[in-house]
């Protein structure tokens, strides 16, 4: 075990994988943190701590469960193609977020149970994006996968507004991250057991062409979709806050 | 009466713009100062799960944190001001508010990136310059 860890330290592929995973974690863990922070807002301070504890715990547990499944699923023929297409979709969603607007008409949580329920449901949806990204970037390397999960934990617990501000300040991170997800999506599609033999024999260039195509595809679609969205109308929240 | 819009985000750059606006208010009265803070919208995934009231409160709370230093600066100088909080793309919202408040100019801080770095890292001041059609003072 130790020897295999040391071996990794000299492997450039390990380090590129790790950097990819960190970027994916930053991009796709922040939302969980924001949901946790918002869901516990209406609770008394003592319960807020409990809510964050259970909420973050659930988010981490769900990631471990999803990750275990996905690593096995990605070995089945055709499922890598499906995973790659899912990554394209996650990337476009990242580049062209739906305007959350005012949010749904959900009442603030009245107790700890309601808050944790909200967090767990949101976690289930949002962890899946993160785990698919990590699993694809880890390329079956279990140490990378575990590191990816570990790195996401502090981001889920402490990251709430930090990630939001970082992405807002440097929007290039989102574009780069979207391109990265597209690249990884292309990469796992061309290495699907259904395609790999044919590609190795006939179109070896697809090993870089596929990922490059994936990266360009999602950035272009993302730009087109986000350009179509109309900007939010100006509304002064300070006015409602004063009332 | 000259009406100035001062976008702030809690940074030192923004505070320099506030000080400049305060100087204008002292030297060439009467000036009406409008502070504005634009909060980044929460991503769609988040607002699906959290109520609208909570999201608004969160935005206002975060905005107040960003506005605190600027408000303190103007309070200390005894200069009256108005506060505006909104959510969205910073450049777009700043110009929309300058328009609806009928401001005569915008005074804003800048990270001073400009050029290539500004284009790559995203510069709110560049964005405002491109969109606005009133005079803009950049304070560095």
Give the tens place of pLDDT for each residue, A79-110: 999 999 999 998 988 887 765 555 555 677 77
3-state secondary structure chain A: CHHHHHHHHCCHHHHHHHHHHHHHHHHHHHHHHHHHHHHCCCCCHHHHHHHHHHHHHHHHHHHHHHHHHHHHHCCCCCHHHHHHHHHHHHHHHHHCCCECCCCECCCCCCCHHHHHHHHHHHHHHHHHHHHHHHHHHHCCCHHHHHHHHHHHHHHHHHCHHHHHHHHHHCCHHHHHHHHHHHHHHHHHHHCCHHHHHHHHHHCCCHHHHHHHHHHHHHHHHHHHHHHHCCCCCCCCHHHHHHC
Interchain contact, A168 vs B85, CB within 8 Å? no
**Complex ipTM more than 0.90, yes or no:** no
Q: What does the alpha-carbon distance between residue A183 and residue A186 come to, in Å, rounded to a whole number? A: 5
The SS3 assignment for B24 reads helix
- pLDDT score recorded for residue B32: 92
CA of A206 vs chain B CAs: smallest distance (Å): 29
* Contact assessment for residue A25 and residue A144, using Cβ atoms and an 8 Å cutoff: no
pLDDT interval class at B111 (50, 70, 90): confident
Give dist(CA B38, CA B40) in Å, integer: 7
Q: How would you list the strands of the sheet with B31-39, edge to edge?
A: B81-87, B31-39, B2-7, B105-109, B136-139
Angstrom distance (rounded) from CA A188 to CA A77 = 11
Q: Do B85 and A241 touch (CB under 8 A)?
A: yes
Which position has the higher pLDDT, B29 or B109?
Answer: B109
Which of A22-36, A187-201, B3-17 is predicted least confidently? Answer: A22-36
Contacts of A38 in chain B (CB under 8 A): 46, 50, 54-55, 58
Q: Is the peptide bond before B30 cis (omega within 30 degrees of 0)?
A: yes
Instruction: Confirm or reject contact between A217 and chain B (CB < 8 A).
Output: no
Residues A30-77 have pLDDT tens digits of 788 888 888 888 888 888 888 888 888 888 888 888 888 888 888 888
Kindly report the backbone phi and psi dihedral angles of residue A231, in degrees, each rounded to the nearest multiple of 5, phi listed first: -65, 155
In this prediction, residue A60 carries a pLDDT of 84
Q: Does the CB of A241 have a partner CB in chain B at under 8 Å?
A: yes
Task: Using pLDDT thresholds of 50, 70 and 90, give the confidence band for residue B48.
Answer: confident
For residue A240, what pLDDT band results from cuts at 50, 70 and 90? Answer: low
Lowest mean pLDDT of A182-186, A239-243, B37-41, name the range: A239-243
What's the predicted TM-score (pTM) here? 0.79
**Which residues from chain B sit within 8 angstroms of residue A231, using beta carbons?**
88-89, 92
Q: Which of A15-19, A121-125, B41-45 has the highest mean pLDDT?
A: A15-19
pLDDT tens, residue by residue, A183-236: 999 999 999 988 888 888 888 888 889 999 999 999 999 988 877 766 556 678
Interchain contact, B88 vs A232, CB within 8 Å: yes
Instruction: Please check whether residue B113 is in contact with residue B21, taking contact to mean a CB–CB distance below 8 angstroms.
Output: no
d(CA B95, CA B110): 16
Which chain B residues contact residue A103 at CB under 8 A? 42, 47-48, 50-52, 54-55
Closest approach of B58 to chain A, Cα-based (Å): 7
pLDDT for the residue B102 = 93
Q: Judge whether residue A243 has pLDDT over 50.
A: no
- Consecutive H or E run containing B18: helix B12-27
**What's residue A236's pLDDT?**
83
The CA distance from A236 to the nearest CA of chain B, in Å, is 5
Report CA B66 to chain centroid distance, whole Å. Answer: 10
Give the residue with greater pLDDT, A234 vs B32: B32
Q: Which residues pair with B136 in a beta bridge?
A: B106
Question: pLDDT tens-digit profile of A106-124?
Answer: 677 778 888 888 888 888 8
- Using alpha carbons, list the distances in angstroms from residue A243 to A61, A124, A240, B125: 42, 37, 5, 31
Q: How far is B108 from B87, CA to CA, in rounded Å?
A: 18
Residues of chain B neighbouring A42 (CB-CB closer than 8 A): 54
pLDDT one-digit tens code per residue, A139-197:
888 888 888 888 888 888 777 677 777 777 788 888 999 999 999 999 999 999 888 88
Give the percent of chain A with pLDDT over 70: 89
Distance CA A225, CA A219 (A): 10
**Mean per-residue pLDDT, B24-33:** 86
């Amino acid at each position: 075990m130790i020897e295999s860890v040391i071996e990794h330290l000299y492997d450039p592929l390990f380090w590129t994988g790790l950097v990819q995973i960190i970027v994916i974690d930053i991009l796709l863990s922040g939302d969980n943190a924001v949901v946790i922070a918002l869901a516990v807002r209406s609770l008394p301070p003592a319960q807020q701590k409990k809510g964050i504890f259970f909420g973050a715990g659930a988010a981490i547990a769900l990631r471990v469960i999803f990750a275990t499944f996905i690593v096995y699923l990605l070995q089945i023929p055709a499922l890598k193609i499906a995973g790659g297409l899912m990554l394209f979709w996650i990337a476009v969603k990242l580049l062209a977020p739906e305007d959350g607007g005012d949010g749904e008409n959900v009442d603030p949580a009245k107790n700890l149970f309601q808050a944790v329920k909200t967090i767990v449901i949101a976690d289930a949806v949002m962890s899946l994006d993160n785990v698919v990204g990590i699993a694809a970037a880890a390329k079956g390397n279990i140490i990378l996968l575990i590191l990816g999960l570990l790195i996401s934990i502090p981001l889920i617990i402490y990251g709430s507004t930090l990630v939001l501000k970082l992405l807002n300040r440097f929007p290039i991170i989102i574009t780069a991250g979207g391109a990265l997800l597209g690249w990884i999506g292309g990469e796992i599609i061309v290495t699907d057991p259904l395609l790999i033999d044919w590609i190795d024999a006939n179109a070896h260039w697809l090993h870089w062409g596929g990922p490059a195509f994936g990266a360009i595809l999602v950035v272009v679609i993302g730009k087109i979709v986000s350009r179509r969205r109309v900007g939010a109308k100006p509304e002064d929240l300070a006015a409602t806050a004063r009332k | 009466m000259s009406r100035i819009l001062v976008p702030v985000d809690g940074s030192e750059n923004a505070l320099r713009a506030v000080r400049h606006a305060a100087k204008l208010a002292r030297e060439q009265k009467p000036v009406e100062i409008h502070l504005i803070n634009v909060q980044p919208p929460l991503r769609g995934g988040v607002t699906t799960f959290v109520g609208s009231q909570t999201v608004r409160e969160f935005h206002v709370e975060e905005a107040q944190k960003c506005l605190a230093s600027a408000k303190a600066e103007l309070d200390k100088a005894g200069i009256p001001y108005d506060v505006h909080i909104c959510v969205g793309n910073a450049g777009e919202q700043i110009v929309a508010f300058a328009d609806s408040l009928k401001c005569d100019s915008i005074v804003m801080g800048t990270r001073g990136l400009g050029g290539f770095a500004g284009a790559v890292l995203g510069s709110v001041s560049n964005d405002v310059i491109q969109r606005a059609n009133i005079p803009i003072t950049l304070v560095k």
